[in-house]
Structures are given as structure tokens and as C-alpha cells.
Amino acid sequence: MDFRKTFDTIPEKFDKWRSRYCDELFADVINYAEIDASKSVLEIGPGTGQATEPFLKTGCNYSAIELGEHFVDFTKKKFGSYINFNIVNDDFEIHDFGNQKFDLVFSAATIQWIPEKICFPKVYNLLNSGGTLAMFMTLTDEKTSNRALYDAIQKVYDEHFHVETKYTCSLNYDNVVNYGFVDYNYRDWKRTRVYTAEEYIEYLASTQVEHITLQEPYKSNFYNGVREAIINAGNKIILNDTIALYLAKKPCLALP
């Protein structure tokens, strides 16, 4: 199963429940890459645009490439008032960008879907000399603040969470240095979310690929079990987020 268009089937729910990034992250990326109205920016897989608007507001020449046609329609409506907004409905892995070059290429929890040997060399070639690659995502710890509840939910997973295909996409961001990138560094910010049982179920059912594709009778039994576990724990689950940012640059190449 190709999970890449799973979220595209539920754009409104995905937009509502996907966690947002912090203003400090956007400021860091924009300052690091020195983005302003004179620069060109490419976003890989914007989805419903949780990370898009801060870059549009710089006045940059913004472009995006998005595989999901419903996401493309959604973002066109959302950002149509920006004259610098441009989006293409295509697969980044095979899309021909022609002579286009960018000062910043960024991904908000998307680049890990692309094999390393495709994404890093292609981004490197798309960047101008001295250009920036920014990769960011939210990593969620559901265990530390919910020890007993976490164990109870894991029992529900063991009993009822049976999916046809496992999500196995991963990317070792550290390997970017093996493809010519320099000045590689990591930054993060912490945040806490608190959900009720119903909110947590909506969050899982709208933002987690395996949960969206879970079939009956497992689906109902799983969510009923999770709901019961959270209600028994006081109808509250605490999520500790790490908003992670990886930055790297294409070296400034000397002119011939």
C-alpha cells in the first residue's frame, strides 16, 4: 500500500487536527536562509499548509509541489489571495523542475516519505549556491506523562490494532552531510497538548496513516478500547511535543 495520499482523502480533518509549528521555528528558518522578497522558496508536500503562510508573508517567490489533488485544491483556496503563491500537483520524486533554482527548500514532515538517495541529491541540485535545506516535524511523546494510561492503551493496540500494511517510512537526517551539504545543525522547541478521549481519537483518526487505514472490526474495537482507557484515567491524555528542526546549506560555490 502506498500511504502517500492517505491524508489527501480527508483534507478538512487533517487540517483541523494536525499539530502546528511554533513561530520561533519559522523565524529561525527565515533568518538562517535570509528569505525576503528577492528569494525563491520551494515547499515539498505542503499538505493543507500548516507551514506555508509564514514564508508567503516574506514576499518571496513561493512554489510548492504536492502529490494530493485535494490538498492542492485546499491550499489554492486557503492562500489564493497571495500573489506569490504557486503550487504544482505532481510527485516530487519524478517532477522535472527544468531550470528552476531555489534559495530555500523546506519540508514540514514530508521529506521522510522520499528515499534518501532521491531526496538529498535532488534538493542539492535544486538549490542555488549557498541555499538552505530545512526539514522539520513534530515528535510526540505519549508515555512520559501518562505511564499507567500509556500501558493501558498499549494493551488495546496489542489486542485490536491489526493493519494490513505497516508504515515504515523513515529518513536519517544526519545523512544529509553525505550528499555535499554543510553547516548541518539541529534545533528544537518543546510544547504540551492535552486532549480528552474524544479529541485524542479524532487526532489519531485524522493524522496517523495506519489509524486512517484500519479496517473493521478492528477499527471500532480499537477506538472503543482507547476511549475507555482515557476516560478511566480521568478523560485526559497529555502529549509532550518536540518540534524538531534540521538545517543544512549547499556550499557557496566559487564562480569560474
DSSP string, 182-244: EEEEEEEEEEEEEE-HHHHHHHHHHH-HHHHHPPTTHHHHHHHHHHHHHHHTTS-EEEEEEEE
Bridge partners of 34, per DSSP, are: none
* 3-class SS of residue 6: coil
Grid cell 552531510 in the structure block, residue = 177
State pTM to two decimals: 0.94
Per the structure block, which three cell numbers stand in for 106?
Answer: 523546506
Which residue ranges make up each domain of the chain?
3-249
pLDDT at position 253? 78
* 3-class SS of residue 41: strand
Alpha-carbon span 232 to 240, nearest angstrom: 20
Q: With bands split at pLDDT 50, 70 and 90, how would you rate the model's confidence at 167? A: confident
Alpha-carbon span 63 to 106, nearest angstrom: 11
Grid cell 478492528 in the structure block, residue = 218
pLDDT at position 19? 93
| Topology of domain 3-249, CATH | Rossmann fold (3.40.50)
CA distances (Å), origin 64, targets 23, 35, 85, 143 = 20, 16, 8, 35
Alpha-carbon span 204 to 245, nearest angstrom: 23
Peptide bond into 217 cis (omega under 30): yes
pLDDT tens-place string over residues 59-98: 999 999 999 999 999 999 999 999 999 999 999 999 999 9
User: Is the predicted pLDDT of residue 1 greater than 60, yes or no?
Assistant: no
Cβ-based neighbour number of residue 223 at 10 Å: 21
State the Cα torsion 194-48-140-27 to the nearest 10°. Answer: -100
Per the structure block, which three cell numbers stand in for 45?
Answer: 508536500
Alpha-carbon span 130 to 171, nearest angstrom: 23
Q: CA neighbours within 13 Å on the CB side: how many for 256? A: 0
pLDDT tens-place string over residues 19-50: 999 999 999 999 999 999 999 999 999 999 99
pLDDT tens-place string over residues 4-15: 788 999 999 999
Task: Give the least confident one: 2-6, 79-83, 172-176, 231-235.
Answer: 2-6
pLDDT at position 255? 55
pLDDT at position 256? 53
